[in-house]
Chains A and B, each alone.
Chain A
């Protein structure tokens, strides 16, 4: 067994010569437990995993309710985790619907998914949606960890061109919204996520050098914050808002530096630094899921969002022999060949997600596993991608929620139950009490009781 002692930072730095992507070795985990306060109850973590373009629902939703439901083909990779999952049927994101704004369902699907709000239709000026559930949590509990939240993705924002029917790309590229008009763009490069968690390893730094560097960084941040404050008074409201975003970011980094000083230890990463974003989708997924697991395990953050593709994605999944672009395929008009290809993509996504759940399950955490202490949502802001429906969304809630969930069931809710009811219920379990969020009408029931 490898212990932390064997993986000192120096060894790691020398080992950086090779940047082969290795999945996290399970054998390493004992050396790498969260810096937990001995005896304390492990924290509850939450993550949201988004898949674009909807799912073929007849091959997703189990026919039976309750504990003894049968798995339909798309969901079947999750079968080993039946005991740790809640299949939630009937949830709706009403904000994703047109509500008089015409086309643009893809942009609205992603924008409404974690906010429960209806985005303002604009190609640029005054983007506006609402704060997302992960950020509500991050703002309340984020101070306890190095990163209030992590935003990750597997596909870069669309490089050019309009995104969806007059909606700014900000809507379809981002899940997390810190304020109603500040999205938090996802990081898609596993190497950069790794560097955020473990440092760049560019140079070996001793304690004195580190302390000195942090001192200057703090001072720099301090003075730019002051500079921004006085600058703001001379500007109009929109420019002020831009500088507020900047100021908030500066404050966040200051907090991170403080947390880093407080909790700093020479943590050796359990796997070597990835070279970059791999071309192979599964490999890319695995790296991200490994990093998510390790971030949760280290208690570097308790809130993560992952977009497995930007909404409206036209990725071609050649890895499973599909060279057609995803989005056009989902407008299948019930053509059997096309429907089958979409099903394959849907299932492929679930397979990747199952890897993550398995990983969390294998990772000991306090008195149980990381999965026991987590709530992981998997879903899409569209149900039927062909018709662009925003009701009956595909939603899984994985994990034990630190004893607050009763998994192993398929629950069907009344039609048009707001998805945000689920989020309010989840926030409650994170110790974040909110009266309402977005269009929520109360807390979703039947999560911990039958």
Chain B
């Protein structure tokens, strides 16, 4: 739909192509990549005009990268001079820039996005004011383009719909309390009926207490023996904490019953009674006695009701309990619907939900119960579950339009908070202020500073750097006995805090590549061999050596890019190419097995084995760059700990990237990467745009992506600048219709 405009007048003379590109191709490329030879299925000879070049930008992006990094022309061919390389690259960059300004931006089209699990949880939290996290039990959302908020991929199934129904009912119940009276009941748990994991003779049960109140706990002991000479005592525990210890005095030839009063908070608690001996040790063998049953009776003297925080958000008029007139009930429904739909609602829409209140009240339900039904209906409406954007001409692919203010507020809030817009954003949209000069900047600032920005860190960073996989990795315990949940959590936290720091303080995104500080607590500092950091709390730490610095050296990233039992230079190299250098390697060609390196064995070090592999020219074309990057990080083991040896071999973290760029340590590798900052910026920008839009990028997006990165570079790579550039871009501000596609 966006045909290249030849009316710009290059067709005729096209001096740039003739003077710069053509001689370069003729001298350095066409020997192999001619129309006839077509090595690697690439024909560069057929390009005769700049128009032809601009019509195949993906191809030329790749060619330019190979020329820049020195991958092409390959070893053994005369290398072009620096001036020649600069010449052709500058020519292409300028042609791109000119092209980008000349085309009318195509905003593209975003498919209606179902809220994914994280968005659903956050939205419910902000909508009702209680963090219920109901989506934990929903199926994992499929992802596309590396993210799980892609409209096209987020599907809907009956099983999920069932969960939405259940969740809606639970949320409505939690959000609106009903006055309750508690009947006193008695529950008996018998040891011959209950299976549990407590010690022999004990009894452990989980009991759900309806309300914080006094309860009577009764422990019945049975046993054949009379007074135990060894001084057995019995302990009552709640949630593992000792509540009371009883001496056992009477001969227990029939159940002996011990009573105690407890006052647990509402909710499930673990109740246990077990025996201890004279030394206070828990008995875990048959001593002829056992806990026969536990009784729980109550509640007595229930604690006065405390309204949940949701009442303030939802019950905006009237008085709890029960005092709501019809106008107020309708207002409650109207407000809730408006907030849930993230836009103003029509009286008809309100009626369609208020209807449930009326019907339920006619059924004799209380106002609270009646309101719950209305809430439940709103929460399963497609207008809540999906972010639907209206389009005046939905089927005309040529019709672009600026999205409405409420739609923009919604895009913003799901981008930076992974949640619904707050009242401030909503009001700005209502007053048509959002697009006034300076307002978007102000709001983006405010949103990044807000605690809800954690939604961005969790979801964007968690997926860009695959940090989410950190929850799942299971480093082999026999090799990494030190890896535990505390370390796992600390690894993740470091990267999150670091990212937040850069974002909130509007630092350069290049700090992700290298920095002289990080965030540590005692556990992680120990892992890094850094002393003088104490306690569980994280703090900013100035790094004294070049061992660490930048996200590449974070244990989190190094762990998720390793196998459970060893490092993998290939995996790490691939990780860097994909996520940092915007150069995802093509998958291995068909019928060539993946280069899966083996663990260091007596056949030589891992590195020696891999180098042998790379003598294969087909493998070498990709692996020379990929493996070199990975080798540069070999000083970090599979859980990111610094090492100088791997088994009997000493670590060699030197390498050479195509173009004779050599490095001897991780620190030197990082300085080489700093030279490729433009690729890094492009990688990060592309990922962030995909995340912000909820769709993959297409060829028509490339001009805008390049423009964003050009502006970003001019700003000194400031984080907020990147966010603002995305927010202001046509794809974020506009949408177009859709053509008939199969």
Contacts and interface: CB of A to CB of B under 8 A. Distances in A.
A416 interface: no
Contacts of A182: 155-157
Interface residues of A, number: 84
Contact of B146 (A104, A156, A161, A220): A161
Contacts of B588: 103
Query: Closest 4 A-B residue pairs measured CB to CB?
Result: A124-B144, A249-B161, A103-B587, A252-B158
Contacts of B383: 227, 231
Most buried by B among A17, A249, A272: A17
A441 B587 CA distance: 33
Given A161-B469, A185-B142, A250 B388 contact: no
A237 interface: yes
Interface residues of B, number: 89
Interface stretch (B187-195, B508-516, B712-720): B187-195
Interface of B: 109, 111-112, 114, 137, 139-146, 148, 150-153, 155-162, 165-166, 187, 189, 193-197, 205-208, 352, 355-356, 359-360, 363, 373, 376-377, 380-383, 385-386, 388, 390-391, 394-395, 462-463, 466-469, 471-472, 474, 476, 478, 563-565, 578, 587-591, 593-594, 596, 598, 695-696, 737-738, 740-741
Contacts of B395: 236-237
B156 to A, nearest CB: 4
A96 B149 CA distance: 27
Nearest to B143: A169
Given A170-B144, A253-B161, A387 B593 contact: yes
A122 B742 CA distance: 14
A126 B474 CA distance: 34
A185 B463 CA distance: 20
14 contacts: A102-B589, A102-B590, A157-B141, A159-B469, A160-B148, A168-B144, A185-B160, A216-B373, A236-B391, A237-B395, A237-B738, A242-B114, A245-B157, A256-B158
A183 B157 CA distance: 8
B187 A18 contact: no
Interface in A227-258: 227-228, 231, 234-239, 242-243, 245-246, 248-250, 252-253, 256
B153 A124 contact: yes
Contact of B363 (A169, A212, A223, A231): A212
Contact of A223 (B162, B377, B594): B377
A224 interface: yes
B489 to A, nearest CB: 17
Nearest to A239: B112
Interface of A: 14-15, 17-20, 22, 98, 102-104, 122-127, 148, 151, 156-163, 165-166, 168-170, 173-174, 178, 182-187, 189, 192, 196, 200, 212, 216-217, 219-221, 223-224, 227-228, 231, 234-239, 242-243, 245-246, 248-250, 252-253, 256, 272, 316, 318, 323-325, 328, 331, 333, 335, 386-387
A243 B112 contact: yes
B160 A249 contact: yes
Given A157-B139, A224-B377, 19 more contacts: A18-B194, A122-B144, A124-B696, A125-B696, A159-B469, A159-B472, A160-B469, A163-B143, A166-B587, A173-B142, A185-B142, A216-B360, A219-B359, A220-B165, A242-B111, A242-B386, A245-B156, A272-B195, A323-B478
A163 B385 CA distance: 26
A248 B158 contact: yes
Contacts of B356: 216, 219-220
A272 B194 CA distance: 11
Given A159-B140, A235-B388, A386-B593, A184 B166 contact: no
A250 B159 CA distance: 10
A185 B696 CA distance: 22
Contact of A331 (B141, B197, B469, B593): B593
Contacts of B594: 331
Contacts of B462: 160
A8 B12 CA distance: 88
A102 B373 CA distance: 52
B161 A316 contact: no
A343 B381 CA distance: 49
Contacts of B197: 20
Nearest to B156: A245
Contacts of B156: 182, 242, 245-246, 248-249
Given A169-B144, A242-B151, A316-B474, A335 B598 contact: yes
Contact of A253 (B153, B158, B385, B469): B158
A124 B150 contact: yes
A220 B380 contact: yes
B738 A227 contact: no
A22 B196 CA distance: 11
A328 B598 CA distance: 10
A157 B140 contact: yes
Contacts of A170: 142, 144, 153, 155
A223 B348 CA distance: 13
A236 B394 contact: yes
B114 to A, nearest CB: 7
Contacts of B352: 223, 227
Given A22-B195, A249-B157, A224 B382 contact: yes
A159 B464 CA distance: 12
Nearest to A331: B596
B162 A196 contact: yes
B468 A160 contact: yes
Contacts of B394: 234-236, 239
A320 B482 CA distance: 22
B688 to A, nearest CB: 15
A317 to B, nearest CB: 11
A168 B141 CA distance: 12
B157 A104 contact: no
A160 B382 CA distance: 26
Contacts of B150: 124
A110 to B, nearest CB: 12
Contacts of B589: 102-103
Given A235-B394, A236-B737, A220 B377 contact: yes
A323 B476 contact: yes
A165 B589 CA distance: 11
A183 B155 contact: yes
Contact of A14 (B187, B381, B386): B187
A235 B476 CA distance: 51
A387 B593 CA distance: 7
A227 B382 contact: yes
Contact of A185 (B157, B165, B207): B157
Given A217-B165, A223-B352, A184 B159 contact: yes
B206 A17 contact: yes
A124 B152 CA distance: 6
A324 B564 contact: yes
Contacts of B596: 328, 331, 333
Contacts of B386: 242-243, 246
Contacts of A235: 112, 388, 390-391, 394
Contact of B382 (A124, A231, A248): A231
B169 to A, nearest CB: 8
A220 B145 CA distance: 35
B384 to A, nearest CB: 10
Contact of A17 (B155, B158, B205, B598): B205
A192 B463 CA distance: 26
A17 B352 CA distance: 40
A228 B156 CA distance: 14
B119 to A, nearest CB: 15
